[in-house]
């Protein structure tokens, strides 16, 4: 059997997706008063219970995130960062929050070079940056919350004290990551009860996390950044060769930021500006708007080819131009402009590009959880939170019940670049929430978790709904395209075109034609992201919810 036939047969037999035609693993969830969609059913339930108790969509998002900190530590927790987009119905505007932390003030590029490092390692003390999650909770709650934080965090505190069952996919990733992390002080005591990762259905309790959450209820965000928790983190890091300090924590504050958007065939697609990668999705959509995507048809060779080539172009800019805004030399407005896209679109030909140049927009003068909530007032929240790689750095301070993130791994150690390491600098970020409006009104709150998959997933969801006419559940269940091997913000450069991965559901003939165009097509299971969404129907005045069939979660409303 030829190589092409083998690839086609493998894709057909893997069984991730049953068909390339529109289908749904379940119906959309429909409700009038409120909605939540997360990757953990008990987190979705905590969010809906919060809404039913009179909480806002932000209250519900915090309640869900706290529950996931307990039950999905493989993707999130108090030691990580967060970002959010909030539709404010009172002002009829979308507001953004950047809850990412900065690198330690005492760790320098010279110190990293003295250790003979070409990249910051993913584990241990060096990749740890200031965790921004808790500050984000309290800043968003202060502006949009309705219930006291005691009530918002109560479901997570109770579950952390009494225990709750671990879901199937989380158990898989917990077991896979645990062996790499058990050596780090405090990790096993918190996350490996009886010396091993909990299995599917095991009831897991984390009384350390319960105590930390209770401290936040009593002392607010300052308990974490200026109180006893900060001092314990400082002592732990000093004892274990780390650089994150009390002063780094005390100086932290997340920022309210203005979201940015592009128009795509009558819809406005919104992302947060860097240091995240959200504008890569906008750049890809600007490139693709110049093609007849709908006419090509979902799953066609032309559909896949143009998507992949647009991704390659956007990711060249992502690799070299995106960074902490204080260090960027290129404007976001230029990067997402129609004029710039028109110039870059000329580089998309009939064959796969092995490499692409970084753009010159001046001509225009890392495992995650995603959740979304909506309430009866019309507020909608698009929320993403992460430790970055798996369960984070492994550094598990004191008996606080959480792991510190390893987001600092995303810095480039080559001097003079936008994302080069510097003290007190925000690293390039992969986690991005998304939102879509139509005619100035909310249409869709959504996200696709999963590293570099995220902007690719955002674009595919928008294309599936706008170009291919799918509902929001079909849009998430449709087989996905993943391109890997682009240039990266950490310094790697694409020279051989990368590799295209297709979920089952794409026709073998399409695989054959892609290879003939010069694409390297591979087989992959499990790296296609995790999606949640809520859509507002203004005519019927109902919410529609969708949840990722590749994850453990669900959407619920009332």
Active site residues: 368
Checking DSSP bridges between strand 554-557 and strand 499-502, what pairing results, if any?
unpaired
Could you tell me which residues come within 8 angstroms of residue 142 by beta carbon, excluding any fewer than 6 positions away? none
Cross-strand bridge partners of residue 264: 267
Rounded CA-CA distance 485/493 in Å is 8
345: Cα separation from own chain's centroid: 27
Identify the CA nearest to 424 among candidates 138, 82, 109, 139: 109
Q: Helix, strand, or coil here: 266?
A: coil
Rounded CA-CA distance 274/280 in Å is 10
Give 427's DSSP letter: P
The H or E element spanning position 545 is strand 542-547
Q: Helix, strand, or coil here: 326?
A: helix
Could you tell me which residues come within 8 angstroms of residue 191 by beta carbon, excluding any fewer than 6 positions away? 73, 174, 178, 181, 197, 391, 396, 403
Looking at the chain, how many residues does it have? 558
The alpha carbon torsion through 276, 427, 74, 525 (nearest 10 deg) reads 60
Could you tell me which residues come within 8 angstroms of residue 437 by beta carbon, excluding any fewer than 6 positions away? 94, 261, 267, 268, 270, 443
Rounded CA-CA distance 397/64 in Å is 23
Rounded CA-CA distance 242/237 in Å is 4
Rounded CA-CA distance 461/372 in Å is 15
261: Cα separation from own chain's centroid: 18
Segments of 187-316 assigned E as strands: 203-204, 255-257, 260-264, 267-271
By CB neighbour count within 10 A (0-12 exposed, 13-18 middle, 19+ buried), where does 9 fall?
middle
Give the pair of three-digit tokens for residue 273: 């500006």
16, 504 contact by CB (below 8 A): yes
Cross-strand bridge partners of residue 441: 438
């Amino acid at each position: 059997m030829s190589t092409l036939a083998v690839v086609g047969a493998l894709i057909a037999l893997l069984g991730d997706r049953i068909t390339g035609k529109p289908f749904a693993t379940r119906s959309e969830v429909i409700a009038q008063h409120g909605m939540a969609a997360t990757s953990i059913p008990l987190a979705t339930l905590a969010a809906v219970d919060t809404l039913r108790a009179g909480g806002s969509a932000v209250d519900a998002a915090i309640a869900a995130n706290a529950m996931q900190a307990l039950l999905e530590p493989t993707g999130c927790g108090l030691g990580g960062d967060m970002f959010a987009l909030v539709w404010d119905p009172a002002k009829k505007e979308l507001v953004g929050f950047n809850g990412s932390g900065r690198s330690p003030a005492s760790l320098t590029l010279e110190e990293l070079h003295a250790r003979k490092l070409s990249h910051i390692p993913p584990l241990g003390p060096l990749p740890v940056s200031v965790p921004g999650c808790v500050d984000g909770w309290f800043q968003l709650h202060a502006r949009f919350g309705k219930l006291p934080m005691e009530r918002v965090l109560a479901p997570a505190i109770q579950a952390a004290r009494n225990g709750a069952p671990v879901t199937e996919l989380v158990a898989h990733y917990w077991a896979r990551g645990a062996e790499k992390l058990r050596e780090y002080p405090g990790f096993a005591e918190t996350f490996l009860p009886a010396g091993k990762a909990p299995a599917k259905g095991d009831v897991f309790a984390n009384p350390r996390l319960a105590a930390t959450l209770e401290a936040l209820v009593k002392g607010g965000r300052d308990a974490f950044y200026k109180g006893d928790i900060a001092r314990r983190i400082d002592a732990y890091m000093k004892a274990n060769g780390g650089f994150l300090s009390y002063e780094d924590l005390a100086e932290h504050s997340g920022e309210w930021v203005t979201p940015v958007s592009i128009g795509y065939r009558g819809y406005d697609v919104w992302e947060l500006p860097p240091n995240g990668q959200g504008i890569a999705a906008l750049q890809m959509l600007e490139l693709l708007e110049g093609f007849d995507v709908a006419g090509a048809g979902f799953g066609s060779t032309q559909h896949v080819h143009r998507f992949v080539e647009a991704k390659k172009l956007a990711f060249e800019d992502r690799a070299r131009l995106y960074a902490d805004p204080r260090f960027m030399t290129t404007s976001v407005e230029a990067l997402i402009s129609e004029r710039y896209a028109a110039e870059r679109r000329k580089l998309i030909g009939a064959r796969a590009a092995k490499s692409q140049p970084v753009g010159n927009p001046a001509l225009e003068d890392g495992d995650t959880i995603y959740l979304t909530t909506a309430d009866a007032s019309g507020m909608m929240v698009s929320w993403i939170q992460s430790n970055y790689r798996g369960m984070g750095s492994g550094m598990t301070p004191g008996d606080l019940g959480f792991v510190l993130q390893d987001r600092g791994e995303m810095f480039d150690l080559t001097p003079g670049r936008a994302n080069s390491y510097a003290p007190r600098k925000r690293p390039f970020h992969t986690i991005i929430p998304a939102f879509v409006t139509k005619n100035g009104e909310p249409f869709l709150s959504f996200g696709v978790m999963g590293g570099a998959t995220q902007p690719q997933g955002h674009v595919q969801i928008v294309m599936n709904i706008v170009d291919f006419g799918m509902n929001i559940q079909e849009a998430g269940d449709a087989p996905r395209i993943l391109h890997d091997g682009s240039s990266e913000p950490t310094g790697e450069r694409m020279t051989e075109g990368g590799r295209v991965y297709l979920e089952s559901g794409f026709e073998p003939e399409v695989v054959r034609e892609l290879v003939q165009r010069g694409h390297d097509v591979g087989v992959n299971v499990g790296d296609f992201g995790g999606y949640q969404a809520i859509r507002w129907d203004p005519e019927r005045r109902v919410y529609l919810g969708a949840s990722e069939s590749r994850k453990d979660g669900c959407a619920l409303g009332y």
